Amino acid sequence: MEKRIDLEKRGRDPAQIVDLNLDNCRSTNIVGLTDEFKNLEVLSLINVGLTSLKGFPKLPNLKKLELSDNRISNGLNLLHTSPKLTHLNLSGNKIKDLETLEPLKEFEHLKNLDLFNNDATSVENYREKVFSMIPSLKYLDGYDAKEQEVEDSEDDEVNGNEEDDSDEGEEDCDEDIEGEEDEDLEEEELGLGTVYKDNLEEESEGDDYEGVGSEEDEDEDGVEDEEDELADEEDGEEESSPRGKKRKHEGEEEVN
């Protein structure tokens, strides 16, 4: 067990470790696990071969303890050094009677207890007696006092996932999503504004172009009018000249 603990530490200070898994490390007693793990919240000792809890350290912040598939038959009073315990799994051990469970009534925060595959579960009115013995208990072997299965939210809570933290995480996500939506909306409005502005500039340029063209048209019309007037005057002169000559000849004939 000591070698496994050193391996799981990975060079870290024991006080920095919150979750420690020592499953299948094989030991009849707890060795190498010391009071230095003062911030440990989750400890798993599944299928280790424990026959006793002797040497169990003082773990003031421990909330979840997995001791299934061992050979523990008594000594649960040694767990009193972990008063914050909320989840205790003792399934697959050697607990034969309910008196062995008496030390557990001292745990004020114990909500989930698993005793499946222990001889004690065959005692008459086993469930009623255990719930009566441990006032804080909500779930025994995965079911409450009314035979309702453990809820997911309760299961998450005993696994160290606080509901408040999850809510805060959801709120942060919502804020991020809202922020992204606002940015997308601003970009969309900016893009529409730019397109609208470009259209206005193109229309303005088109009006200026038409204005220039209209002035040129007016100038061309004026020139054509002046040319028409000149042509009319020339026609008048041409018509008047022959008549004058004719009248002059007629006058000369009368004189003669």
Residues 103, 81: Cα–Cα separation, whole Å: 12
Non-local (6+) Cβ contacts of 60 within 8 A are 38, 81, 82, 83, 84
Average pLDDT, the chain: 77
Q: Give CA–CA dist 111/128, Å, rounded.
A: 15
Last residue of a domain, one of 161, 179, 212: 161
Q: Which of the listed residues 141, 161, 181 is the one where a domain comes to its end? A: 161
Q: What three-state secondary structure class fits 78?
A: helix
Residue 151: predicted pLDDT: 73
Indicate whether 101 and 139 sit together in one domain: yes
The answer on 220 and 137 residing in a single domain is no
More reliable by pLDDT, 248 or 152: 152
Is the domain of 19 the same as that of 80? yes
CATH code for the domain of 140: 3.80.10.10
Q: What is the tens place of the pLDDT at every residue in 64-87?
A: 999 999 999 999 999 999 999 999
Residue 253 — very low, low, confident or very high, per pLDDT cuts 50/70/90? very low
CA atoms of 150 and 153, how far apart (whole Å): 9
Sheet harboring 87-89: ordered strands across?
A: 19-21, 42-44, 64-66, 87-89, 112-114, 139-140
Do 167 and 104 belong together in one domain?
Answer: no
- The tens digit of pLDDT for each residue in 173-225 reads 444 445 555 555 555 555 555 545 555 555 555 554 444 444 445 455 554 55
- Dist. CA 67–CA 45, nearest whole Å: 5
Compare 58 and 219 and report the one with higher pLDDT: 58
Q: Which whole number is the average pLDDT over 114-128?
A: 96
Asked whether the predicted pLDDT for residue 232 surpasses 50, the reply is yes
Residues 177, 137, single domain; the answer is no
- Span 152-162, pLDDT tens digits: 655 555 444 44
Predicted TM-score of the model (pTM): 0.61
Asked if residue 30 and residue 99 are part of one domain, the reply reads: yes
For residues 33 and 154, membership in a common domain is answered with yes
The DSSP secondary structure of 184-203, one letter per residue, reads HHHHHHHHHHHHHHHHHHHH
Q: Are residues 68 and 89 in the same domain?
A: yes
Tell me: do 151 and 168 sit in the same domain: no
| Span of 98-107, 146-155, 164-173 with lowest mean pLDDT | 164-173
Same domain, 157 and 170: no
* pLDDT above 80 for 107: yes
> Given this model, what pLDDT does residue 150 score?
78
Element (H, E) at 174: helix 163-255
Q: Tell me how many domains the chain contains.
A: 2
Cα angle, residue 168 at apex, residues 162 and 170 outer, rounded to 5°: 105
CA atoms of 208 and 253, how far apart (whole Å): 69
Q: Are residues 67 and 43 in the same domain?
A: yes
Strands 87-89 and 139-140: unpaired
Residues 92, 203, single domain; the answer is no
CA gap 130, 112 in Å, rounded: 12
Find where tokens 């001791």 sit.
67
Out of 161, 185, 200, a domain closes at 161
Q: Please list the alpha-helical segments (H only) found in 95-162.
A: 126-133, 152-158
Q: Domain of residue 213: give its range.
A: 162-256
Give the residue from 47, 33, 88 showing the smallest Cα distance to 65. Answer: 88
